[in-house]
Amino acid sequence: MTKAESFLKEFGLHESCFDFIEHVSRFTADMEAGLANEKSSLLMLPSYLGVIPETPPEGEVIAIDAGGTNLRIALVRFAPDAAPIIERFEKYRLPGSDGAVTKDEFFNSIAGNIGDMTADSDKVGFCFSFPCEIGADRDGKILWFDKEVKVDGSAGAHIGVELNAAFAKIDKEPLEVTVLNDTAAALIGAVLAHRVSGMGGYIGLIYGTGSNICYYDPEMKMLINTEAGGYGGFRQSVCDMEIDAESDAPGAQRLEKMVSGAYFSTVALKAARLAAREGIFSTETRGSINGLEQLDAVTIDAFMRAGGSPETELGSLCATEEDAEVLYEILDGLYERAAKLVAIAITAVLIRCGATAEKPGYIVAEGSSFRKGFRFRERFESYIPAFSGGEKPYELVLADDHALIGAAASVFL
């Protein structure tokens, strides 16, 4: 056993600290409890939306995608016999991602950015990438903002109501607003764009700044937003506990803080510093790592893809080749842990959907961490067949602007 592997196991950062079968069962139990309105770390929020429109959509819809850091707005054109077309696309910084704003400032900014698109459509599909409770009227009540976005006074506000109030301030007529989560939007958009049907389940996975899963529940007959980032069934390491305690909402979004892009670099930095304190590195390297004030995904990725090369920023901190190898193994182990935890959650959802190798579930994955995380997809996909007897009970596609299409299409569901 290498020094890095021993360190990761001792401090609960190694993937082997999480038994796959046991944790799939735990996640499944939490899903069932959430659906039954019993105590659960998974909110299991109903969407009141299906996946596939009964008739082909037609017309123009304003699509809003309020993500972890970006606000994307576009006009989406639908025709029965043609692929959806994204027009007049604009991208902005999400209000509240660079410092606290008020609820009114948040919605006033979005209304202003929509501008004259309201002349083309009176319908809005609003993809909201934060926990919110959807009502039967398909408006969404904000529960809280996460991913370190700060919007004061927003808890309990209804998105459609607030957006129309902001429109009223600039003399705009009220619009019909349908609110949905980003996982649902990406899933609906991909299913519509690729004309998918007859699958053994439909699942949306977000693994980027944040982490979440939605799926079409065969019993509830609607999309369910699990809010998987809030799952609390995985044992936290000392690094995870420190990040949780230092966050704006201690105790919330525990899985998200362990694996998602908004926190992964901090987990890596804390793990490297912990290893330094434990004497894993040479004295010179220990001082260099302890002197690191911050670490970002680009720096980690460059180091990993270069095989721990001393020519990289992180590699230059290592006084010896052995130090570089140890640091590489520690970071590689954290990627492996993240992939396994996300795979556990997805496997539980595949089981809930009834997916099989003969009738696989359709997984739509979106997020920069899924696409760019070092060997993330490869690791993620290696776990699920191992659990299902070597078979592959799913098909996986990457979302590509599907959240905007899905947000717009939601008004027809």
* Count of residues making up the chain: 413
**Domain 59-196+401-412, CATH:** 3.30.420.40
Per-domain residue ranges for the chain? 3-42+199-398, 59-196+401-412
> Over the stretch 171-191, which tens digit does the pLDDT of each residue have?
888 999 999 999 999 999 999
- CATH number for region 3-42+199-398: 3.40.367.20
Closest CA to 15 of 404, 391, 342, 394: 342
Q: What is the pLDDT of residues 350-403, one digit of tens each?
A: 999 999 999 999 999 998 899 999 999 999 999 998 777 788 999 999 988 788
**Tens-place pLDDT, residues 189-210:** 999 888 899 999 999 999 998 8
- Residue 149's pLDDT band, with cuts at 50, 70 and 90, is confident
Extract the tokens encoding 346. 């997805």
Q: pLDDT tens, 65-85?
A: 998 788 999 999 999 888 889
- pLDDT digits 0-9 by tens, 223-255: 999 999 999 999 999 999 999 999 988 999 999
Check pLDDT > 80 for residue 54. Answer: no
SS3 296: coil
Chain mean pLDDT for the chain: 94
pTM for the model: 0.90
pLDDT of residue 82: 83
What does the block give as tokens for 87?
A: 């027009």
Question: In this structure, are residues 138 and 411 in contact, taking their beta carbons and an 8 Å threshold?
Answer: no
| 149/132 Cα distance (integer angstroms) | 14
Dist. CA 224–CA 233, nearest whole Å: 19
Q: CB count, 10 Å around CB of 311?
A: 9
The H-or-E segment that residue 391 falls in is none
Nearest to 24 by CA among 278, 264, 268, 384: 384
Mention every residue, 6+ apart, whose C-beta is less than 8 A from residue 212: 129, 181, 182, 183, 205, 206, 225, 226, 227, 228, 229, 256
